[in-house]
Amino acid sequence: MGASSLLSSGMCGELSRDQAQRVAAIERGADELLQLIDSTVTMARLDQGDGRSRFVVSDVGVGDLLIQIKGEFSDAFEKKGVTLVIDPVEPECLIKTDLIKLKEILRNLIENARKFTQQGKVEVRFAPREGEARVEFVVSDTGIGIAKDDLPKIFELFFQAETSTVEHASGGLGLNIVKRLVTAMSGEITVDSEVGHGTAFHIYLPRALPTVHNSALSLRGFQNL
């Protein structure tokens, strides 16, 4: 990966159009392999059901979290020419949740949106829903969208939507992981999509996740949703 980055940066000399396309394909493949490895490790940890799968609850500043995640994705979005928009959040906005697992949810959804968006933007919004016991995160994009018949199946393990192409192919793990984490956190996830017009995932999570939580993060029950 490091060598291909040097080639694409031009530090080793100017590449022809064909060479540049081949290097870009190498970088894409390396990125996808890393994502697949990360997802596989996450799945293994969830399936073990040991102490590593328990919740660690703390006060999480939503605004700071979203700014941090935007920084992590800035290079990938800039390279693709797609804009990542994070709607402003009040600095004092705190929720009690598991920071690591919330990050995992948002990262998977943002990466999924980036992968299936060729132009336009990916937007992340937070709705505090004052007076309610739940808060809402929305990750939307202007990408290729999901066919209506595929919507009930998108959280299944290894599922590939009909609108996916070789260029947009994924390991089929990310959304399954998201669904499992959201459900284990006593939350809910819904999706709206239209082919050619993009997709929006709505995540509803408790404003305060109990310090002691009994939900088991297990694969059982999620292989055939």
DSSP 161-189: -TT--TTT---S-HHHHHHHHHHHTT-EE
d(CA 208, CA 186): 11
Is the CB of residue 145 less than 8 Å from the CB of residue 192?
Answer: no
Question: pLDDT value at position 10?
Answer: 59
Phi-psi region of 81 (alpha: psi -120 to 50; beta: other; left: phi over 0): left
Give residue for tokens 């390991």. Answer: 171
Query: Tell me: the pLDDT tens digits for 122-170?
Result: 999 999 998 899 999 999 999 999 999 999 999 988 777 665 544 554 5
Question: What would the mean pLDDT of 110-133 be, rounded to a whole number?
Answer: 94
| Contacts with 56 (C-beta within 8 Å, 6 or more apart), sequence order | 98, 99, 100
pLDDT higher for 182 or 160?
182
Question: pLDDT value at position 71?
Answer: 94
Instruction: Please give the model's pTM, rounded to 2 decimal places.
Output: 0.74
Query: Tell me: the pLDDT tens digits for 50-77?
Result: 434 578 899 999 999 999 999 999 999 9
Question: pLDDT value at position 160?
Answer: 73
Residue 40: pLDDT over 70: no
Q: Which domains does the chain carry?
A: 56-206 (3.30.565.10)
Give residue for tokens 């990966």. Answer: 1
Is the CB of residue 53 less than 8 Å from the CB of residue 30?
Answer: no
Q: What single letter denotes the amino acid at residue 214?
A: N
Residue 223: pLDDT over 90: no
* Distance (Å) of CA 46 to CA 69, 99, 101, 222: 22, 16, 11, 12
